């Protein structure tokens, strides 16, 4: 076992490295309850690997120095990226996988020799959950989807839904961002908050904002009165999983709409990311089983 030593980078929470290898989740305040360490640590244990995932609270100003410290430490195998650093990391890593480059955001890091590589597993993790919610890939093709919020996760989900749904609309607090993403993906852009005129033509809503998160802004990204215009066959997917039922999902369920939170997405993206960071340690099914049990 490696000798214990404090992490040398400028992070906002105390971290001591005392294992042969380690992973990290970088975000604003992942030490306050990020689920990734629980999932990854269960997989490390199942694989018999002397490693731990550490949450690291990192400011935007300190992110380059933290990435440099991780790159310089061969014990670092990779990990996860939380808000608000998913887009900023694209320019700080040695290489970016094509899918992450297309999305313009990174939610996973892994080591390849001396290089740190960025990947995006958010979209793939969300897609499987959304397909299950609506009844499979074929059913998804008939949906008119709206993605609200175009941060790292929202970009990934919009990119994966583009071409897999009949029609895609994107909305963001900054309209210019929605316009740019829509042009890139062949989608339509809408104002935020999204009004009833747009929602009346939608039968799949995907929330990728932090509105309704236990540590985010209170409320719902869609007003209850506007939500009421969704057709009875509509489905509502919320990438948030803390709390289990956000105000958006609660209102949608009260209307009898199909709903699902982001817990499954969080699991699936972690399974994929772990496989990149520790290839061959465990089969995907074994990683998923270990993480699900956690």
Residues belonging to the active site:
86
Is residue 217 within 8 Å of residue 210, measured between CB atoms?
yes
CB-based contacts of 143, cutoff 8 Å, min separation 6? 134, 165, 166, 203, 204, 235
* DSSP 8-state symbol, 130: H
Q: 223 phi and psi, to 5 degrees?
A: -65, 150
Q: How far apart are CA 2 and CA 49, in angstroms?
A: 13
Tokens read off for 89: 């990391």
Determine the angle formed by the axes of helices 122-134 and 263-277, rounding to 10 degrees: 140
Residue 75 CB-density burial (10 A; 0-12 exposed, 13-18 middle, 19+ buried): middle
Distance CA 253, CA 214 (A): 19
Q: What are phi and psi of 54, to 5 degrees?
A: -110, 135
For 112-149, b/e burial (b = at least 16 CB within 10 A) is eeeebbbbbbbbbbbbbbbeebbeeeeebeebbbbbbb
Based on the number of CB atoms within 10 Å of its own CB, is 195 exposed (0-12), middle (13-18) or buried (19 or more)? Answer: middle
- The rounded distance, in Å, linking the Cα atoms of 270 and 89 is 18
Instruction: Note whether 207 and 240 are within 8 A (CB).
Output: yes
């Amino acid at each position: 076992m490696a000798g214990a030593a404090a992490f040398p980078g400028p992070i906002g929470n105390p971290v001591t490295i005392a294992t042969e290898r380690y992973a990290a989740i970088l975000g604003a305040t992942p030490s306050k309850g990020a689920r990734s360490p629980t999932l990854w640590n269960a997989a490390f244990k199942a694989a018999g690997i002397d490693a731990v995932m550490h949450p690291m609270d990192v400011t935007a100003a300190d992110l380059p120095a933290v990435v440099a410290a991780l790159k310089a430490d061969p014990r670092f195998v990779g990990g996860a990226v939380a808000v608000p650093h998913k887009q900023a990391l694209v320019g700080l890593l040695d290489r970016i996988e094509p899918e992450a480059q297309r999305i313009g955001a990174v939610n996973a890091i892994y080591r390849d020799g001396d290089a740190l590589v960025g990947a995006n597993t958010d979209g793939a993790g969300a897609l499987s959950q959304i397909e299950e919610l609506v009844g499979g890939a074929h059913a998804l093709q008939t949906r008119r989807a709206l993605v609200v919020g175009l941060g790292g996760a929202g970009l990934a989900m919009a990119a994966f839904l583009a071409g897999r749904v009949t029609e895609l609309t994107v909305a963001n607090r900054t309209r210019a961002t929605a316009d740019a993403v829509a042009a890139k993906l062949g989608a339509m852009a809408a104002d935020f908050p999204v009004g009833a005129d747009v929602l009346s033509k939608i039968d799949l809503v995907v929330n990728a904002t932090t509105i309704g998160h236990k540590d985010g802004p209170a409320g719902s990204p869609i007003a209850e009165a506007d939500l009421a215009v969704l057709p009875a066959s509509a489905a509502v997917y919320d990438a948030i999983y803390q709390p289990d039922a956000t105000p958006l999902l609660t209102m949608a369920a009260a209307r009898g709409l199909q709903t699902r939170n982001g817990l499954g997405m969080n699991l699936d993206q972690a399974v994929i990311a772990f496989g990149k960071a520790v290839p061959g340690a465990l089969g995907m099914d074994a990683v998923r089983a270990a993480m699900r049990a956690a």
